[in-house]
Chains A and B, each alone.
Chain A
Amino acid sequence: MIPELGHFALVLALALGVVQAIGPLIGAHYRDAALMRMADSTALMQFVFVALSFAALTVCYVTSDFSVVNVYENSHSAMPLIYKYTSVWGNHEGSMLLWVLILALFGAAVAAFGGNLPATLKANVLAVQSWIACAFYVFILLTSNPFLRLAEAPLEGRDLNPILQDIGLAIHPPLLYLGYVGFSISFSFAVAALIEGRIDAAWARWVRPWTLAAWMFLTVGISMGSYWAYYELGWGGFWFWDPVENSSLMPWLAGTALLHSAVVMEKRNALKIWTLLLAILAFSLSLLGTFLVRSGVLTSVHTFATDPSRGVFILAILVFFIGGALALFAWRAPLLKQGGLFAPVSREGALVFNNLFLTTACLTVFVGTLYPLALESVTGEKISVGPPFFNLTFAPLFIPLLFAMPFGPLLAWKRGDVLGVAQRLMAAFAVGIVAIAVTFVIKGGQSVLAPFGIGLGVYVIGGALIDLIERTGLFRLPLATVRSRAAGLPRSVWGTAVAHIGIAMSLIGIVAQVWADERIVSLKPQQTVSIAGYTLSFDRLTQRTGPNFREQAAKFTVRNSGGTVVGIMDPSKRTFPARATTTTEASLLTRGTSQLYLSLGDANDDGSVAVRLYHKPLVLLIWLGSVVMMLGGGLSLSDRRLRVGAPKPAKKTAAKPALQPAE
């Protein structure tokens, strides 16, 4: 009964979606207030029904209803409760349901919190959002229905893929989808603006908080996925340039570019067409990612060809939305008026520089990900594009980008003074150079480039701090003045500085992995292994039984160079009988922001066990950096909300004729 209710709720959501896709558009065209307002209720109800549908599937999982195919294939009655919840989206059908749930959530959020939007814009945005939703409801209902039943219910399920039986599955996909799918709002805003044929700085102000929210989730979503892979896969890598990863990185790069260009548009009414294009591209890349991951085209072009129903469907959605939006763009964008002028050297110019490099980086990932697929389907030739390619082509683009980063916030709008800014950044250059020298002294010439990477990171942090110090008058003015100036500083300024510090932290963490240490040895109990000043002694090997697995666990005692015990590490290997698979559970010991990483290999006949031991210096900075970036985004968002919530625009902005007040 419950799966049928879930199925039915999804059908109802589709029906509401169709109404919402058409009604408000007509309403906006004829200025019919009732038709336009209808979108609010349908958007909220769509969310309610999709949420009901999702809840129904969750109930099936939690109660282990194996008469539902999807539950039978991806769950097991002995699985811990948390994984019964998370396995709802640990499979294709369920993850698509999560996808539309978040899509509906964003639609409902616009309906609920978009009170300050002009009625026509809001109606159009919600209509476009509903087109996307309808396309995916139909996709789920026709090709990926999670509610299908089995005629005879099996006694036991086939278990969730053991690699997914981890807390990471509870965190990573929902966050990632919130980001990924969140860009649909920017897309809907862009298409709505094109439909109306009118776009101004106010549009940028409305669209920015949504983009910012999506970007924050995507940032942390990607980084949590990276941390999950790091500890789960057993060899301590954190980014593999895998097509699946790349397909989340592309929207992130485009979204980051969009955030920056929207600033120019909001403040200076320039870069309007470009911002629109980026808004379309960011979500198009999300759709592309969905296609790549969900169609099976990645495993092989041939699997895609043998069971194309899903792939072709998503491809059709992709072509319709990307093609349609770009066609609309090509048709309507030339009609939009170009806005404010600026000199190449200015804050605007710096943001254009940022956009140029971010979009090139995005293109590089795009080509690297899709070229092998394209080449194989055109010529049949198979090539591999892996980490060495991306490290060579992608990383260099970030060097000028990061170098220019501290300049941006210090340059004046319209016309800036690079030399003047360089002088103000002197202290940042100095600490950067000191950092390079210190790194060379400590680490020697192991890697020539890496100290410069560390120096670059330190310089970026210095630059962000200088911006804050100058604006608050720290060290110049009395402390009380500094405090009041700091409080009066727009939150977005704080946000920028914090987010920039975050990316520098990640950079330092990534670069520091050059100095990671590794030991691959066979050990017998009571033997020891040393790494980076720590000594690990192998105490014993034990067998344990978990709810749905057995595991072989080793116990290691970790001592520092002084001989004091600093921790216990117990890596294990788990075997899941239901799927006949084994996973390695690495053990991590955190010391400051560095980590010891220990994973277990095979036991040999002579009683020894193969182990891999790593010392990863400053590795936590990689992910902490992303959390700091999100924090920066949050600060900026809190600023937006205040301004967006204000009924009348601030005096300064109202004075500009280019700014049209909300209707």
Chain B
Amino acid sequence: MRRCFQYLVFLLALIVATPVLALQPDEILKDPAMEARARELSRELRCMVCQNQSIDDSDAPLARDLRLLVRERLVQGDSDRQVRDFLVARYGEFVLLRPPLRWHTLILWFLGPAALLAGIGGLYLLARRRRMVVVEPAGLSGDEQRRLVELSGPPPSDRT
């Protein structure tokens, strides 16, 4: 009875969780150049039901559908851009693993480079300020000179 049950579970498992292993042999296009384009595109497209996987890597059925769709569009003569635009129109920008440069992604794209430039600029200013400090050891100001004279009494020449 128990074995029987286990077998049932096993069968069920096969039905429920049949993982299709990422890209399948039957999906590959005959034309190697076009297949290469398809692979390149698939790596930049997100499998929306997975966590951070491209459709090229994903085992999910949706990813397979999208891979087939991408190839279908390419065979019909779409350019890479047209395929991408088509998918964005259908699924939104979420499908692109490299977000396009828009107003709402400005920070995403430019915070790093901006920080690097700011760092370089800051260091440059700091180095210049420090160099000035090193090069010109601050002499006594007029006030300090006067105060020194007051404290140390009149100059020796007066004493004679």
Please give the residue numbers on chain A whose beta carbons come within 8 Å of chain B beta carbons, in ascending order.
Answer: 234-235, 237, 240-243, 298-299, 341, 343-344, 352, 356-357, 359-360, 363-364, 367-368, 371, 375, 379, 381-389, 392-393, 397, 520-522, 550, 575-577, 580-582, 584, 599-602, 610, 612
Number of A-B contacts (CB under 8 A): 139
Shortest B43–chain A CB gap in Å is 7
CA distance A368 to B23 in the complex (A): 27
A233 to chain B, nearest CB (A): 8
Q: If A298-B51, A371-B108 touch, does A602 touch B20 (CB 8 Å cutoff)?
A: yes
Tell me, yes or no, whether B109 is within 8 Å of chain A by CB: yes
CA distance in complex: A368, B116 (Å): 16
User: Which residue from chain B places its CB closest to the CB of A237 in the assembled complex?
Assistant: B57
Alpha-carbon distance between A344 and B108 when the two chains are bound, in angstroms: 31
Contact present for B46 and A384 (CB under 8 Å): yes
* Minimum C-beta distance from B114 to chain A (A): 10
CB-CB < 8 A to B54: which residues of A? 386-387
Q: Do B123 and A352 touch (CB < 8 A)?
A: yes
Q: How far is the CA of A393 from the CA of B101 in the complex (A)?
A: 13
20 residue pairs from A and B, CB less than 8 Å apart? A234-B22, A237-B57, A242-B51, A343-B131, A352-B123, A356-B123, A360-B112, A360-B115, A360-B116, A363-B111, A363-B112, A384-B97, A575-B10, A580-B12, A580-B17, A582-B18, A600-B21, A601-B20, A601-B21, A602-B20
A235–B52 touching, CB < 8 Å: no
Tell me if B52 and A356 are in contact (CB < 8 A): no
The smallest beta-carbon distance between A386 and chain B, in angstroms, is 3
| Interfacial chain B residues near A584, Cβ < 8 Å | 19, 21
14 further contact pairs, Cβ within 8 A, besides A298-B51, A367-B108, A610-B24: A341-B134, A360-B115, A360-B116, A367-B107, A371-B105, A381-B104, A383-B94, A384-B93, A386-B52, A388-B44, A389-B108, A397-B116, A581-B17, A610-B21
Cross-chain contact A389 with B18 (CB below 8 angstroms): no
Bound: A600/B25 CA distance, A: 12
How far is B109's CA from A371's CA once the two chains are assembled, in angstroms? 10
Docked complex Cα distance between A557 and B43 (Å) = 31
Q: With both chains docked as a complex, state the minimum distance between the C-beta of B10 and any C-beta of chain A, in angstroms.
A: 5
Cα A35 to Cα B75 with chains together (Å): 78
B43 touches A387 (CB 8 A): yes
Whether B24 and A601, one on each chain, are in contact in the complex, defined by CB atoms closer than 8 angstroms, is yes
> What is the bound-complex CA distance between A599 and B95, given in angstroms?
27
Contact A299–B18 (Cβ < 8 Å): no
Q: Please give, as numbers and ranges, the residues of chain A lying within 8 Å of B14 by CB-CB distance.
A: 575
Q: Chain B residues in contact with chain A, CB under 8 A?
A: 6, 9-10, 12-14, 16-26, 28, 43-44, 46, 51-54, 57, 92-99, 104-105, 107-109, 111-112, 115-116, 119-120, 123, 127, 130-131, 133-134
Cα A47 to Cα B85 with chains together (Å): 57
Query: Which B residue sits closest to A522, measured CB to CB?
Result: B25
Closest beta carbon of chain A to B13's beta carbon, Å? 4
Query: Which of B43, B93, B107, B127 is most buried by chain A, counting CB atoms within 10 A of its CB?
Result: B127
Closest chain A residue to B9, Cβ basis: A577
In chain B, what residue has the closest Cβ to A379? B104
**Contacts A385-B99, A522-B25, A550-B10; is A344 near B17 (CB within 8 Å)?**
no
A360-B112, A367-B107, A382-B92 known; A582+B13 contact, CB < 8 A: yes
Shortest beta-carbon distance from B136 to chain A in Å = 14
Write out the residue numbers on chain A whose beta carbons fall within 8 Å of the beta carbon of B99: 383-385, 389
Asked whether, in the complex, the Cβ of A383 is within 8 Å of the Cβ of B105, the reply is: yes
A385→B26 CA distance, assembly (Å): 30
Query: Considering only CB atoms, which chain B residue lies closest to A342 in the complex?
Result: B130
Complex contact A580–B57 (CB within 8 A): no
- Report how far A363 CA is from B108 CA in the complex, Å: 10
The answer to whether A240 touches B119, judged by C-beta atoms less than 8 angstroms apart, is no
Least CB separation from A608: chain B residue: B25
Partner of A241, one of B46, B52, B133: B52
How many whole Å from B9's CB to the nearest CB in chain A? 5
Q: Is the interface of B mostly helix, strand, loop or mixed?
A: helix
Closest A residue to B112 by beta carbon equals A364
Query: What CA separation (Å) do A243 and B51 show in the bound complex?
Result: 9
Chain B residues near A601 (CB-CB < 8 A) = 20-21, 24-25
Q: A360-B115, A599-B21 are in contact. Are A389 and B51 (CB under 8 A)?
A: no
Q: Are A610 and B10 in contact (CB under 8 A)?
A: no
- Which residue from chain A places its CB closest to the CB of B133 in the assembled complex? A341
From the candidates B13, B105, B123, name the one contacting A575 in the complex (CB within 8 A). B13
Q: A363-B115, A364-B112 are in contact. Are A520 and B46 (CB under 8 A)?
A: no
Question: Known: A520-B25, A580-B16, A612-B21. Contact between A393 and B109, CB under 8 A?
Answer: yes
C-alpha spacing A341/B21, complex, angstroms: 59
Residues of A near B18 (CB, < 8 A) are 582, 602
The answer to whether A367 touches B52, judged by C-beta atoms less than 8 angstroms apart, is no
Once the chains are docked, how many angstroms separate the CA of A352 from the CA of B119? 10
Contact of B97 among A299, A385, A581 (CB under 8 A): A385
6 closest Cβ pairs, A-B complex: A386-B97, A601-B21, A388-B98, A364-B112, A580-B13, A382-B94
Residue from the list B9, B46, B104, B127 in contact with A375, Cβ < 8 A: B104
Nearest CB in chain A: distance from B127 CB, A: 5
Q: What is the chain A residue whose CB lies nearest that of B124?
A: A344
- Residues of chain A within 8 A of B116, CB atoms compared: 356-357, 360, 397
Q: How far is the CB of B64 from chain A (nearest CB, A)?
A: 11
| A385:B108 contact, CB within 8 angstroms | yes
Are A386's CB and B120's CB within 8 A?
A: no
Contact B94–A384 (Cβ < 8 Å): yes
A521 and B94 in contact (CB under 8 A), knowing A381-B104, A577-B6, A580-B16?
A: no
> Of all chain A residues, which has the CB nearest B19?
A582
CA distance A654 to B46 in the complex (A): 59
Q: Which residues of B contact A367 (CB under 8 A)?
A: 107-108, 111-112
Contacts of A602 in B (CB 8 A): 18, 20-21, 24
* Contact between chains at B123 and A612 (CB < 8 Å): no
The residues of B that contact A343 with a CB separation of less than 8 Å are 127, 131
> Contact at A581–B22, with CB atoms within 8 Å?
no
A371 near B21: Cβ-Cβ < 8 Å: no
- With a cutoff of 8 Å between Cβ atoms, the chain B residues found around residue A575 in the complex are 10, 13-14
Rounded to whole Å, the gap between the CB of B18 and the closest CB of chain A is 7
Distance from A660 Cβ to chain B, minimum over Cβ atoms (Å): 23
Task: Check if B52 sits within 8 Å of A243, measured CB to CB.
Answer: yes
Distance between Cα atoms of A602 and B53 in the complex (Å): 20
Chain A contacts for B112, CB-based, 8 A:
360, 363-364, 367, 393, 397
User: Do B94 and A234 touch across chains, with their CB atoms under 8 A apart?
Assistant: no
Contacts A522-B26, A577-B10 given; indicate if A360 touches B21 (C-beta within 8 A): no
B residues in contact with A388, CB < 8 Å:
43-44, 97-98
Least distance between B92 CB and chain A CB atoms (Å): 7
> Are the CB atoms of A386 and B21 closer together than 8 Å?
no
User: What CA separation (Å) do A576 and B9 show in the bound complex?
Assistant: 10
Q: Which of A341, A356, A379, A381 contacts B120 (CB 8 A)?
A: A356
Q: How far is the CA of A387 from the CA of B47 in the complex (A)?
A: 13
Could you say which residues of chain A place their CB within 8 Å of the CB of B28?
520
Q: Cβ of A371 and Cβ of B107 under 8 Å apart?
A: yes
A344 and B127 form a contact (CB under 8 A):
yes
Which residues on B sit within 8 Å (CB–CB) of A363?
111-112, 115
A521 adjacent to B13 (CB under 8 Å)? no
Distance from B107 Cβ to chain A, minimum over Cβ atoms (Å): 7
- Contact of B130 (CB < 8 Å), options: A234, A341, A389: A341
Most A C-beta atoms less than 10 A away, residue of B25, B28, B43, B54: B25
